[in-house]
């Protein structure tokens, strides 16, 4: 038995399968369906399955409804794809906005890493010149600079990864349809950041490898 909005009790005659609630904040709210004759509504929805382009059936669907009752208004004839886009338009807009900000943050982080590494290379200008004068090759210089930057990058990635794991409970309250422990995000995002950081390290490393040690030492 089930209540019908405080009007009394109704007999349950069947159970339907799982239905996705368009309200993503209430995906698992229990629902009860009543026959239209027992619980009439001011507005009703008719669903129709088609074998080809659903847009070509709009006029025929209107004709069928008006054949039953010419006074019935038929409005908002839409496909499921159109309804889906309309329902989730705000979420798509927020997702796009967050993606733009994330991309901007990635660019700024890359510029910051590049700036720090460039400054570090400039500070070690004399050291690198001495190493090269004593026989260090360009490959050795690149390995030295990239290795120093890689240690900092990997340390920062590890701290951020642990922070993400510790924030799982907080993230779970704002995520819908996905687990807070998302392997693709926890592995993919650090991999992207590490790759970008290593590239940002490699550029000043290559510049340092082109230093003329004798000219540099004479200048000093």
The whole-number pLDDT of residue 26 equals 62
Query: Mapped to the 3 state alphabet, what secondary structure does the chain carry?
Result: CEECCCCCEECCCCCCCCCCCCCHHHCCCCCCCCCCCCCCCCCCCCCCCCCCCHHHHHHHHHHHHHHHCCCCCCCCCCCHHHHHHHHCHHHHHHHHHHHHHHHHHHHHHHHHHHHHHHHHHHHCHHHHHHHHHCCCCHHHHHHHHHHHHHHHHHHHHHHHHHHHHHCHHHHHCCCCCCCCCCHHHHHHHHHHHHHHHHHHHHHHHHHHHCCCHHHHHHHC
Q: Can you read off the two tokens belonging to residue 119?
A: 């400054």
The whole-number pLDDT of residue 19 equals 72
The whole-number pLDDT of residue 1 equals 47
Q: Find where tokens 């490959």 sit.
A: 139
HSE at residue 44, side-chain half, CA atoms within 13 A, is 13
Domain boundaries, given as residue ranges, for the chain: 1-87, 89-219
Q: What are the Cα distances from residue 125, in Å, to 110, 114, 176, 199, 207? A: 22, 16, 52, 20, 11
The whole-number pLDDT of residue 216 equals 60
The whole-number pLDDT of residue 97 equals 93
The whole-number pLDDT of residue 218 equals 62
The whole-number pLDDT of residue 72 equals 81
The whole-number pLDDT of residue 215 equals 63
Supply the pTM of this predicted model. Answer: 0.57
The whole-number pLDDT of residue 100 equals 93
pLDDT in tens, 151-167: 888 888 888 888 877 87
Q: Find where tokens 């004593």 sit.
A: 134
The list of the chain residues with pLDDT below 50 reads 1-2
The whole-number pLDDT of residue 214 equals 66
């Amino acid at each position: 038995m089930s209540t019908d909005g405080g009007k009394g009790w109704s007999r349950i005659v069947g159970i339907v399968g799982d239905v996705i609630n368009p309200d993503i904040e209430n995906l698992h709210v229990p629902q009860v369906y009543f026959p239209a004759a027992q619980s009439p509504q001011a507005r009703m929805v008719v669903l129709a399955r088609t074998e080809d382009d659903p847009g070509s059936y709009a006029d025929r669907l209107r004709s069928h409804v008006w054949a039953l009752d010419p006074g019935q208004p038929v409005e908002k004839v839409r496909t499921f794809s159109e309804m889906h886009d309309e329902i989730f338009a705000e979420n798509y807009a927020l997702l796009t906005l967050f993606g733009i900000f994330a991309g901007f943050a990635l660019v700024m982080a890359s510029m910051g890493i590049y700036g720090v590494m460039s400054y570090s290379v400039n500070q070690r200008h004399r050291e690198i010149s001495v190493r090269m004068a004593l026989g260090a090759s360009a490959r050795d210089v690149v390995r030295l600079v990239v290795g120093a930057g890689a240690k900092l990058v990997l340390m920062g990635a590890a701290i951020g990864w642990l922070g993400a794991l510790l924030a799982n409970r907080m993230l779970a309250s704002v995520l819908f349809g996905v687990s807070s422990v998302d392997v693709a995000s926890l592995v993919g995002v650090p991999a992207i950041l590490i790759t970008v950081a290593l590239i940002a390290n490699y550029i000043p490393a290559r510049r340092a490898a082109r230093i003329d040690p004798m000219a540099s030492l004479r200048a000093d």
